[in-house]
Chains A and B, each alone.
Chain A
């Protein structure tokens, strides 16, 4: 059986099993709202949507009280959260809490806490990096960072045994997860994530991030957003916001495809202080760890 046939068959299996997690009820309308211009957003509607899911509302409050979201006064209700943090941040928080509930119980050897620490950490680094280089939509960068590894969720649901082998191989050889996926499964979480992105009807730019962040994407019209995620993801994997193991390799950010893509749009990146961004990742680690534990081990 050729590699292409294997891939096609495995991807067929994803479709047939109907095990792709459905988009959580609360997140679908939130995602739709987030695509609208800010001036069209209805704060009351969002509050109502989040309030329908009591567990989610509680998780949102926990996260809203974190310094990671820039609030230093106690927030005790969704209303206070929206008044204090603004609609957009509360939406980001609700999305973060919502996706955290997506992983199955049997996670094939990958600790779901570690996985979501990476995703939430990547989201925060994407937002911070986007702001630092004056990328026009830091919120989108946050969402893209949060959702970029959705394909891993599919792999955990649809191929738990195979994914256990993938993860063991990646961890023992200390290689990037997508390389181990390619070797064991014949496809990566970009391929399986693309199916989920389609199923969830994600916007074209988020779909592109999920499908292409480990691929050749320079010609994509969404290349700058993918580049932000590619670089933030890489820095997280080389630091304490990894998947529970450190890849044993040497990386020069300036040699990554994402750097070239972003440099075309943001010439100031030529003198960017990558060391400082790396040190700033430290600020997120403890808080991300605490938040994910609090939410996941509820």
Chain B
């Protein structure tokens, strides 16, 4: 964040611009992505880029572009694109991955203890250029030396965009996408290729890529018996009715103990009553189940 942006948000120059706060609340209401005060500077920059494009000078004017002017839906999508741009990289959400490793995987193992087949199925819905499913594959490969010994696992990676999928299948990544990779993972699971890194076949073996439109109700019903769904910064582009349909599919396709993970600042508030928000160490997730009755004791 630039110094100017930071000062505009929290500094001695004044409280956050109320119109920027209105844009923040609009983005949360429509897309479910929340910018806490500490991240308003990021929103300031992202709106700034769109405002330059639209030749608007104030947040108030830009708020109108997003709410009352013609093409407001297109402008909102353009802003959401700015908000999520550059979000994809390997090991992007460390806290979420640690929670998966330390808490979610043991919970799933326990839930499936009595089943004859030891298999874990993960769905990366909206996998973009493949960083997320490959990260999950590496995480599970590591765990297959420990808790997941004798288990098989598969990662279903789907996206709407053919070009993203082609990139994902190719498995070649530049420095930006691999910036969070530790030396350990870099050396163990990648091979250098010029200035880029190629994912090794052992990581790719467990990942299957396919094109899927999350609005395609017929095909969505085929993604059965899933233990975890990862759907980061994808639902933000859907209107409420479509979002609810997609969430219903996730609900139906997840096993009873299943987990749904969204982006780190993404929420399902007001979208579903069927998933319950749970707090994991340093992360949040959604689990299946009726909303708990007030007064029910913690187990």
Point out residues on A near B: beta carbons under 8 Å: 67, 70, 72-74, 174, 234-235, 238-240, 246-257, 259-260, 263, 270, 273-276, 278-287
Contacts and interface: CB of A to CB of B under 8 A. Distances in A.
B174 interface: no
B51 to A, nearest CB: 23
B15 A274 contact: no
Contacts, number: 102
Contacts of A74: 12
B280 A282 contact: no
Interface string B273-297: 0001111111010000001101111
A117 to B, nearest CB: 15
Contacts of A251: 278-279, 298
Nearest to B106: A248
A283 B38 contact: yes
B277 A274 contact: yes
B70 to A, nearest CB: 31
Interface centre among A72, A248, A254, A287 (most CB of B within 10 A): A254
Contacts of B269: 273, 275-276
Given A72-B11, A275-B268, A255 B292 contact: yes
A174 B268 CA distance: 28
Given A259-B294, A283-B39, 17 more contacts: A67-B10, A67-B37, A174-B102, A235-B279, A238-B280, A240-B282, A246-B282, A249-B103, A251-B279, A254-B291, A254-B294, A255-B297, A273-B267, A275-B284, A276-B269, A280-B34, A283-B36
A260 B282 contact: no
Contacts of A70: 15
23 contacts: A67-B10, A234-B279, A240-B282, A250-B280, A251-B278, A252-B277, A252-B292, A254-B292, A254-B296, A255-B296, A255-B298, A257-B298, A260-B294, A263-B295, A273-B267, A275-B267, A276-B28, A276-B34, A278-B284, A279-B36, A282-B36, A283-B37, A284-B38
